[in-house]
C-alpha cells in the first residue's frame, strides 16, 4: 500500500515538474520571440490620411516576413468622399513582396489612403492579414511563427481629421512674423536717422 502511495506522489511530482518546465519555456519564448502585426491608423501630420503600419511588437527580431491577405488590399485610395472609380489593388510594397528583417519595435509605415477611397474598396468587412516570419538567428528548426491582424476602415468613420500638426503651424507663423519684422525694420531704416 505504501509503495502505491509513493508511486502516486512520484507521478504527481513529475506532472508538476513538466508543467513548470512548460510554463518556463512559454515565458522564455514570450520574452524572446518576435510578433509582427499590421494595423491602420490616422496620420497625425497629414489630416484625413490613413496609414498602414507593419510593426514588430515582440521582443526578438523577425526575418523573412511574408504576408497573406484574406482578399486583396487597395493602394493609394485617396478620396475623402466615396469616389466613383474603384481604387487600384496593391501591387507592390512590403505587403506584396515581403520584408527581409524587422528589429523589435521597428515599424514600416505606408501611406494607404483616405476614408472614402478605402471604404469604396473594402466596404464594411474586415480584411485579415496574416504575417509569416521566423526568429532571426534561430538555432533550432522550430523557427516559423505567424500572427493575424484585422484591417477595417469602418473604425475611422467620423474620426477627428483636423490638422494637429502644431510644429508646422508654429514654424509657418514664425516665418510670417519674421518677414513682417523685416518689412518693419526696412521701413524704419528708410525713414532715416
pLDDT at position 20: 74
Inform me whether the pLDDT recorded for 185 exceeds 70. yes
pTM equals 0.73
pLDDT at position 77: 93
Higher model confidence: residue 11 or residue 149?
A: 149
- What are the sequence ranges of the domains in the chain? 1-32, 34-162, 164-193
Which of 10-19, 93-102, 106-115 has the weakest average pLDDT?
Answer: 10-19
For 89, the grid coordinates are 489593388
Higher model confidence: residue 59 or residue 18?
A: 59
> Domain 34-162 maps to which CATH number in 1.10.10, 1.10.3470, 2.60.40, 3.30.70?
2.60.40
Mean pLDDT of the chain: 86
Inform me whether the pLDDT recorded for 141 exceeds 80. no
Amino acid at each position: 500500500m505504501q509503495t502505491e502511495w509513493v508511486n502516486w506522489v512520484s507521478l504527481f511530482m513529475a506532472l508538476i515538474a513538466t508543467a513548470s518546465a512548460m510554463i518556463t519555456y512559454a515565458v522564455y519564448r514570450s520574452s524572446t520571440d518576435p510578433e509582427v502585426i499590421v494595423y491602420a491608423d490616422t496620420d497625425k501630420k497629414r489630416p484625413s490620411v490613413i496609414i498602414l503600419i507593419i510593426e514588430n511588437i515582440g521582443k526578438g527580431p523577425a526575418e523573412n516576413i511574408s504576408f497573406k491577405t484574406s482578399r486583396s488590399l487597395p493602394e493609394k485610395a485617396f478620396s475623402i468622399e466615396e469616389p466613383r472609380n474603384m481604387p487600384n489593388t496593391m501591387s507592390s510594397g512590403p505587403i506584396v513582396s515581403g520584408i527581409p528583417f524587422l528589429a523589435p519595435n521597428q515599424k514600416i509605415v505606408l501611406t494607404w489612403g483616405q476614408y472614402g477611397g478605402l471604404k469604396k474598396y473594402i466596404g464594411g468587412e474586415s480584411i485579415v492579414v496574416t504575417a509569416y516570419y521566423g526568429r532571426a538567428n534561430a538555432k533550432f528548426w522550430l523557427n516559423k511563427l505567424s500572427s493575424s491582424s484585422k484591417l477595417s476602415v469602418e473604425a475611422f468613420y467620423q474620426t477627428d481629421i483636423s490638422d494637429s500638426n502644431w510644429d508646422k503651424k508654429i514654424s509657418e507663423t514664425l516665418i510670417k512674423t519674421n518677414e513682417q519684422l523685416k518689412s518693419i525694420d526696412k521701413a524704419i531704416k528708410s525713414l532715416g536717422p
